Amino acid sequence: VPTLEAARTKVVNDDISTTRIYRMWTVPGENAAESVPLNLASTVLGGLASSRLDEALVRQDPVAVSVAAFNFTMEDAGVFIVQADVKPGMDPAAVGAKLDAEVARFISEGPDADELERAKISTMASVIRGLERVGGFGGKAPQLAGGELFMGDPAHALKQLRLMADATPASVTASMKTWLTRPVFNLVFNPGE
């Protein structure tokens, strides 16, 4: 998994209505056991309506109109992404600082048992619903084929479900401390030409 030598920032203008802030870290891919706790971390941080970022940046102190976090994994590597759409009239730098503080707090504290349980149930239910179909995105056929092709194991999805069920707040926190404390790539999209 590649690592940046130091944090980097890139600012881009585009034909958009509000500033979007990204924080991105390279992380292990789908073939690493650490991808499961990182997936769960992203769900707790910004993947549910009750997520940490939603609570802090959209409801309690509404500086963002939307937030999200997800762990985009490929076979050997992935990208853990956190994003926030800045509320009109707010200073993007201040929102970025608040976003960074919330992420740092989450890495330090980790999820509590209730947050992790909600993330597990949501994620596992989604996978199981997908496996109830034969084809389509997440269906049996693509899951079996993808597991065989990329992991050498058609039952890879079932192994992921077992790892998810066994994940603990401590294992999720340890994975975050390993991977999300490395240098971050900051990308900011501002409205403009």
DSSP states of 68-131: EEEEEE-SSEEEEEEEEEEPTTS-HHHHHHHHHHHHHHHHHH---HHHHHHHHHHHHHHHHHHH
Whether pLDDT at 65 is above 90: yes
Rounded mean pLDDT, 36-64: 94
Q: What is the pTM of this model?
A: 0.92
For residue range 131-166, list pLDDT tens digits in order: 888 887 778 888 888 888 888 889 888 898 999 999
* Confidence class for position 49, pLDDT limits 50, 70, 90: confident
Beta bridge partners of 21: 84, 188
Q: What region does 192 belong to: left with phi over 0, alpha with psi -120 to 50, or beta? A: left
For residue range 107-128, list pLDDT tens digits in order: 999 999 999 999 999 999 988 8
Rounded mean pLDDT, 20-41: 95
Residue 174: both structure tokens together: 């340890």
Separation CA 51–CA 43 (nearest Å)? 7
Whether pLDDT at 18 is above 80: yes
- Report in angstroms the alpha-carbon separations of 53 from 9, 20, 120, 172: 21, 14, 18, 17
Rounded mean pLDDT, 168-189: 97
3-state secondary structure of 16: coil
- What does the pLDDT read at residue 147? 87
